Structure 1
């Protein structure tokens, strides 16, 4: 790995390497090397791993927005966080995973919350109520998480190279949500197309909402949530009046 990678602009949560940590050692964002991390239980270890992962995401996003996704290298990302390539690939299989992985976590959280919706709630309502919960969680999670969400949305909208990865993620998520809706409704998704269709309608409506936000230069999670709320009303009217 080249040691002459350009220094990244200041990024949130990016640690400095302590002088006594050998080059190439994985460093958690609190400054301790992975080898020297306290053994205070799996909970502490997992928190350190999550902070390191978040530091890599934040540094990558700063670089992507400053100089472009295609021209940013993994070498530059790890140099900004003072960790090795090996550490990077411990968390991400590819560079694009830095961006799409953030939403993979939210997709899983979404699926778990959808399963918990009231049993009598109609499928379309359950999907949108779960989305409201996810957006509220992001909006209420603090300025750093909200800024991270904003940066990721901007990178996704600006980089055509990530469109294919996003479409693959949509396919995976829609399949999972259709299976959950089928379970909730007690139908077989193999022979009954309704779960897949209602999820497709929901996904289309949310994509339109997010695209409208991007075109209007709206990135704040609370503003996005308000616009998605308005899109829910439009979608409901379409179901009532156009279908």
Structure 2
């Protein structure tokens, strides 16, 4: 059972987090200082650093929660699913449960605006790509363990995770610049993009479905 002191600490952390994100999305990450965040909550700068290592830590607090949520979803998938099915169902099912987890810290609407802010801030976008690479490596090792292969000698776990991750990034990027900035929109867009993976990799893109055989290509005159 939580003590009064623990609840007070959580309230302070949540107030600092929400204030930081609101300032980041309204006036810009680079134009917001730790002193300003702390002053808005009426605490000292030292108190801010008790909860967060810095501004970047605050900016990625909720995204880190969603990453951990997804990784755990992959771990729980039934072993009879193929790797790609396990990844797809993990991300789609996560959208059904992650909102409640986010709401325990900040409003979902603020989280979505924060995501857009991260995409538009070069320093944070670079940090996000680094974090995604680390998460993909963790997931690749989970997939390798599920399938009983060694990821250091078998490239398939990293390949399937890399392809899947690239599709998710494309969907998220298009969603972030669209007009419907909701969780329903990103969920539906993600599903539609994942549906295109097979056809995009193996299908014939040309109108009419015809493609000349390499042997039929005209030779270059001597």
Question: TM-score under structure 2 normalisation?
Answer: 0.82
Q: Following superposition of structure 1 onto structure 2, how do residues 5-20 of structure 1 map, counting pairs within 5 Å?
A: none
**Secondary structure in 1 matching 2:81:** coil
CA contact (8 A) 1:153 1:219 kept: no
The change in CA–CA distance for 1:140 and 1:226 in structure 2 (over 3 A counts) is farther
Q: Aligned residues, how many?
A: 202
Contact persistence 1:139–1:222 (CA under 8 A) = no
Q: Choose from 115, 128, 147 the match for 1:166.
A: 128
Cα 1:47/1:136, change in 2 over 3 Å: farther
Deviations 1:86-130 (A, max 9, x none): 222222212111112211122112111111101011111111111
Q: Provide the C-alpha distance between the structure 1 equivalents of 2:180 and 2:120, rounded to a whole number of angstroms.
A: 14
Quote the Cα distance in structure 1 between the aligned partners of 2:9 and 2:86: 33
User: Alpha carbons of 1:82 and 1:236: their partners in 2 closer, same or farther (altered >3 Å)?
Assistant: farther
Distance 1:196 1:152 in 2: 29
Map 1:44-55 → 2, pairs under 5 A: 48-55=8-15
Paired position in structure 1 for 2:189: 227
Q: Does 1:184 align with 2:146?
A: yes
Larger radius of gyration: 2
Cα RMSD over matched residues?
Answer: 2.2
The aligned residue for residue 68 of structure 2 is 108
Q: In 1, Cα distance between the equivalents of 2:54 and 2:81?
A: 39
Q: Say whether the 8 Å CA contact 1:99–1:152 is kept in structure 2.
A: yes
**Distance in 1 between residues matched to 2:34 and 2:174, nearest whole Å:** 32
- Deviation of the 1:241 alpha carbon: 2.5
> Which structure has the highest helix share of the two?
2
Partner Cα distance (1:200, 1:146) in 2: 27
Relative distance call for 1:195 and 1:161 in structure 2 (3 A) is same
